[in-house]
Amino acid sequence: MINNKNLAISERVLSALQKIRPFLQADGGDIELVNVTPDGIVEVRLTGACSSCPMSQMTLRAGVERAIIREVPGIRRVEAVS
């Protein structure tokens, strides 16, 4: 069940992703929001060149996760799912 709080958090996560998406797209990749869990875990799917890049975990932690945590209070971690 999606409540207003989860919807608002998802919208803020999407907004944060929109800010970093151009950097990923510049290298032929992209990112999709899959889910935001009630305990503050953001699940994303890396696509394009990002899906097979050996540096994707570093990008996920140092770039994506930091940006989302900075923009959206309550988010604890970002995980890539397939």
pTM here is 0.87
Determine phi and psi for 29, rounding to 5 degrees: -115, -175
The neighbouring-strand residues paired with 42 are 36, 78
* Sequential pLDDT tens for the chain (82 residues): 445 566 689 999 999 999 999 999 999 999 999 999 999 999 999 999 999 999 999 999 999 999 999 999 999 999 999 8
- Write down the domain spans for the chain: 4-80
Write 43-46 long-range contacts (CB < 8 A, 24+): 43/78, 43/79, 43/80, 43/81, 44/17, 44/78, 44/79, 44/80, 44/81, 45/80, 45/81, 45/82, 46/80
The CATH class given to the 4-80 domain equals alpha beta
